[in-house]
Amino acid sequence: LTDARLYVLLSGAGCQAALDWTIAEAAAGGADIVQLREKTLPDGELLGRARDVRRWTRKAGVLFIVNDRPDIARLADADGVHLGEDDLPVREARRILGPDALIGVSTHNLEQVRRAVLEGASYLGVGPTFASATKQFSELAGLEFVRVASAETSLPAFVLGGVTTDNIEQVVAAGGKRVAVGAAVGQAEEPRLVAAALRRALRD
């Protein structure tokens, strides 16, 4: 996790092409982590898909995180779970997943950053930074939050929310060292090239 720079959030319906191909291409371009973010599948189907993604991510050599659901993460043998504001608290998710699981938390302000650190989060999502094609945000935390969050914590912090190849230089300039993207890779004609461009900007 500490080496991870590029985190990709994908869903079956949100991908331009097939999910397995998109994962393989994103990984070939330099993605380190894939999150399965399915918001509408019934649980039985969700588990089936999570197990598919576990197989594909293992083959691609990237970490696999399940959105929202620690039970699905555990049953699919994922590396961890990502929790939003409405989800279970970190401590509760860890009771399901055990001490070694990666548990990520979305944060939108410094108070949430501090709480996530105290609760034992493994990494943070930091944003939303820009308007996004995947998700409607009520308020952007913006680049200023990237600056203060990066300075506040030593946990791996992935800047997210509308990050693309067009604005990643601004993220890096604000102190962002890691990003999480959805549509930028999932909706790309050539996910590998986009992932590679993002990864390159983060290396510089």
Residues near its own copies, by CB under 8 A: 42-45, 47, 68-71, 74-75, 85-89, 92, 95-96
- In the complex, minimum distance from the CB of residue 115 to its own copies, in angstroms, rounded to a whole number: 13
**Cα separations in angstroms, 108 against 42, 43, 122, 137:** 28, 28, 17, 11
Please answer whether residues 36 and 66 qualify as being in contact, where contact means their C-beta atoms are separated by less than 8 angstroms. Answer: yes
- In the complex, minimum distance from the CB of residue 80 to its own copies, in angstroms, rounded to a whole number: 14
Residue closer to its own copies, measured from CB, 48 or 144: 48
Q: Which residues contact 118 (CB under 8 A, 6 or more apart)?
A: none
Residue closer to its own copies, measured from CB, 52 or 190: 52
- In the complex, minimum distance from the CB of residue 72 to its own copies, in angstroms, rounded to a whole number: 8
Residue closer to its own copies, measured from CB, 96 or 110: 96
Please answer whether residues 180 and 159 qualify as being in contact, where contact means their C-beta atoms are separated by less than 8 angstroms. Answer: yes
Residue closer to its own copies, measured from CB, 89 or 142: 89
Q: Which of 187, 190, 191, 152 is nearest to 13 (CA)?
A: 187
- In the complex, minimum distance from the CB of residue 52 to its own copies, in angstroms, rounded to a whole number: 15
Residue closer to its own copies, measured from CB, 94 or 192: 94
**Cα separations in angstroms, 70 against 15, 47, 113, 179:** 23, 11, 21, 23
- In the complex, minimum distance from the CB of residue 51 to its own copies, in angstroms, rounded to a whole number: 10
